[in-house]
Amino acid sequence: MEQRATTEAALAGVLQSCDAAPGAAMEHSTAALSAATELPTLQWSTRRGSESYDATLAAAMEQSRNGVQCCDEVLGSGFLHHRRVMANGVGGKLGPIADVRGAMPEMPISARASAAASGEGLVRQLGVLELVLLGIGASIGAGIFVITGTVARDAGPGVTISFALAGAACVLNALCYAELASRFPAVVGGAYLYTYAAFNELTAFLVFTQLMLDYHIGAASIARSLASYFIQFLELIPSVKGNVPSWIGHGEEFFGGVVSVNILAPILLVILTVILCRGVKESSAVNTFMTTLKIIIVIVVVFAGVFEVDVSNWSPFMPNGFKAVVTGSTVVFFAYVGFDAVANSAEEAKNPQRDLPIGILGSLLACVILYVAVCLVITGMLPYTLLGEDAPLAEAFSAKGLKFVTVLISIGAVAGLTTTLLVGLYVQIWVGCVAAVLAGLFNVHALSHILSVGTLTGYSVVSACVITLRWSDKATNSRSLGKFSIWQEGVFCLVIVALCGFIAGISYRFSYSIAFIIIAFLIATVGSFSLLFRQVYVPVDPPRFSCPGVPMVPIVSVFFNMFLFAQLHEEAWYRFVILSLIAVGVYAGYGQYNAVPSTSDHSSVAYHGVPSEAP
């Protein structure tokens, strides 16, 4: 800790010296940094390697007498490289540093230092409680009030196991997300930038497109269900009941049910988008209030429903077999997507290194407990065949004659789905119009069949990112082993593990011989041990959260995610292939020619304005 503090203080001196006097002061600060880390004076070079750094700096100083302007113009483009060299030189003690200019605009040195000190840009005002509630708010609404009834129609009371399986997989993914959120605490972009840093821009773009479409589909599904709950709440008023046109709330079907027109759902999306445009402080206050209200109502509902449970409704527990339960787990997987939204709030967290892991894991565990409790209650109250798809909880309590609880559920559903939409749109506010179109044209059943593709894809790649970013510097892991480097060998092993997970899932889904599953598992095991013994892993600094059991935990996460991917509905596979082809085409025809060049250092994402202490 003392060594790290000394190194960071020396780096701060370098920044200050660059703004004050880029000549001798820079040399003095560099020497101070070298002394602090017991390293020889580092020899800088420009990133593009066209000429030496000293020559570039001297030429710039001749053009201007203003030292600050000099540093801003010259070092503004080259200083990220120097910071990366310093970080590598001290064994990664300052954390990974990299160039993500393709995703974020570059700031001059003095401007970056000023922003870090003054807190300019996005205001850091989200603490642990706000982050936990952010994750819960993104999850609870979709899982309890929407997906439960849809999955229960196929899995029966076994929907409880579906949520438990998805939760177990998400715990592994959350451990990986928590490490990356702590490793890159001031980086905005979540899975996209993690993938960008660990692999390349094309892979990151593919993950981005799949995840964003999942957010759109999820937001549209939630908006449809929110409209149904809202209308059901209004129909508690006798004068309103039965007088609301179907095209306003529940949906008017056309073309044999392929299209289901709903006007209210897009309107609700527009209203919530306007709230988000007011700023994170206002939307966070709305989210905190409504999430707290939702949790209280859900707990009341669970305790009220326990007394109405008929154990005979749990038999048979898995009427369509365990395969239907596993398939259901792929659908409810999206119900846990809230912790991804927590990772995306890094730039607005007060103390991201400490608070993001707590927010991610805390919100996930709370969601697992609430999901399992609600599923047990709702499937015990009514036979699973009688559960509705749009408003299952309200219909269950209404069938039992508990009007007061039905009112509470309607209020909780409106609050819960509103917070879920708020967080979903918070991640994708700039393209929320797509969700509005989907919500206006398709019902929950149709949308649920193409859900979770992007979520499973993104989580698998993020787990792989933990492994690749833990590998030691490229000089160690890029030694040639014949035709392939150690780094390439490691990536190949990760791909093999993912393919084996998918093959095992396909074999299970289509009832192929158990031998295929065993062979796939054994090959994945060999690949896992190759990753374990062939690579050199760098431990994460103690102040940061570290995923336990690397590389085995991320490997199991990748295998399990791909196994679940194989259980998705066929429509989801078509969506994955079509969108991937479109994304590759867009990148090949436009993206690769307009992207800002990045360094070849895969271990990097630039920090900006990371607070050392939360106020």
pLDDT digits (tens, 9 = 90+) for 297-354: 788 888 989 999 999 999 999 999 998 999 899 888 878 877 777 776 766 778 877 8
Q: Is the pLDDT of residue 296 over 70?
A: yes
Q: Is the pLDDT of residue 607 over 80?
A: no
**Given this model, what pLDDT does residue 114 score?**
42
Place 142 in a pLDDT band, splitting at 50, 70 and 90: low
Residues 141 and 273 in one domain: yes
How far CA 51 is from CA of 43, 47, 54, 58, 81, in Å, comes to: 13, 9, 9, 12, 14
**Given this model, what pLDDT does residue 21 score?**
44
Residues 422 and 478 in one domain: no
Report which of residues 271 and 99 the model is more confident about: 271
Residues 89 and 165 in one domain: no
Most confident of 233-247, 473-487, 570-584: 570-584
Within-domain flag for 394: yes
**Given this model, what pLDDT does residue 265 score?**
85
Residues 148 and 48 in one domain: no
Token output for 184? 């890159």
Specify the number of domains making up the chain.
Answer: 3
Final residue before a domain boundary, out of 446, 462, 490:
446
Cα–Cα distance measured from residue 445 to residue 264, given in angstroms and rounded to the nearest whole number? 18
> Out of 311-320, 479-488, 506-515, which region has the weakest mean confidence (pLDDT)?
479-488
One-letter amino acid identity for 193? L
**Given this model, what pLDDT does residue 224 score?**
84
Question: Please, what's the b/e burial string for 574-594 (b: 16 or more CB within 10 A of its CB; e: otherwise)?
Answer: ebbeebeeebeeebeeebeee
Report which of residues 84 and 373 the model is more confident about: 373
Torsion of CA 575, 220, 455, 272, to 10 degrees: 150
Report which of residues 381 and 476 the model is more confident about: 381
**Given this model, what pLDDT does residue 238 score?**
77
Q: Residue 341 in contact with residue 177, Cβ under 8 Å? A: no
Cα–Cα distance measured from residue 296 to residue 455, given in angstroms and rounded to the nearest whole number? 28
Q: Is the pLDDT of residue 259 over 70?
A: yes
Q: Closest Cα to residue 186, out of 376, 349, 373, 325?
A: 349
Report which of residues 459 and 294 the model is more confident about: 459
Token output for 541? 């600094």
Final residue before a domain boundary, out of 408, 429, 446:
446
Within-domain flag for 602: no
Cα–Cα distance measured from residue 148 to residue 376, given in angstroms and rounded to the nearest whole number? 11
Token output for 345? 């709030």
Model pTM above 0.85: no
DSSP 45: B
Burial group, residue 245, by CB count within 10 angstroms (0-12, 13-18, 19+): exposed
| Percent residues over pLDDT 90 in the chain | 16
Within-domain flag for 242: yes
Cα–Cα distance measured from residue 217 to residue 220, given in angstroms and rounded to the nearest whole number? 5
Within-domain flag for 579: no
pLDDT digits (tens, 9 = 90+) for 193-245: 889 888 889 999 999 999 888 888 878 888 888 888 788 777 777 777 777 77
Within-domain flag for 303: yes
Q: Is the pLDDT of residue 124 over 80?
A: no
Token output for 240? 């309103």
Final residue before a domain boundary, out of 94, 120, 146:
94
Residues 186 and 57 in one domain: no
Q: Is the pLDDT of residue 71 over 80?
A: no
Residues 159 and 42 in one domain: no
Within-domain flag for 35: yes
Place 573 in a pLDDT band, splitting at 50, 70 and 90: very high
Cα–Cα distance measured from residue 152 to residue 164, given in angstroms and rounded to the nearest whole number? 14
Residues 88 and 236 in one domain: no
CATH code of the domain in which 378 resides: 1.20.1740.10
**HEC secondary structure over 296-365:** HHHHHHHHHHHCCCCHHHHCCCCCCHHHHHHHHHHHHHHHHCHHHHHHCCHHHECCHHHHHHHHHHHHHH
Within-domain flag for 610: no
Long-range contacts of 555-558 (CB under 8 A, 24+ apart): 555/463, 555/467, 555/494, 555/497, 555/524, 555/527, 555/528, 555/531, 556/172, 557/169, 557/172, 557/173, 557/175, 557/176, 557/459, 557/460, 557/463, 558/460, 558/463, 558/464, 558/494, 558/497, 558/498, 558/501
What are the backbone angles phi and psi of residue 484, rounded to the nearest 5°? -125, 145
**Given this model, what pLDDT does residue 610 score?**
36
Within-domain flag for 73: yes
Cα–Cα distance measured from residue 268 to residue 421, given in angstroms and rounded to the nearest whole number? 9
For the chain, what is the mean pLDDT? 72
Residues 344 and 433 in one domain: yes
DSSP 244: S
Residues 386 and 306 in one domain: yes
Q: Is the pLDDT of residue 96 over 90?
A: no
Residues 86 and 230 in one domain: no
Place 605 in a pLDDT band, splitting at 50, 70 and 90: very low
**Given this model, what pLDDT does residue 9 score?**
54
Residues 197 and 251 in one domain: yes
Q: Closest Cα to residue 500, out of 574, 575, 565?
A: 565
pLDDT digits (tens, 9 = 90+) for 15-69: 454 444 444 444 444 444 344 333 333 333 333 333 444 444 444 444 433 433 3
Place 457 in a pLDDT band, splitting at 50, 70 and 90: very high
- The whole domain housing 497 covers 471-568
Place 487 in a pLDDT band, splitting at 50, 70 and 90: confident
Residues 325 and 399 in one domain: yes
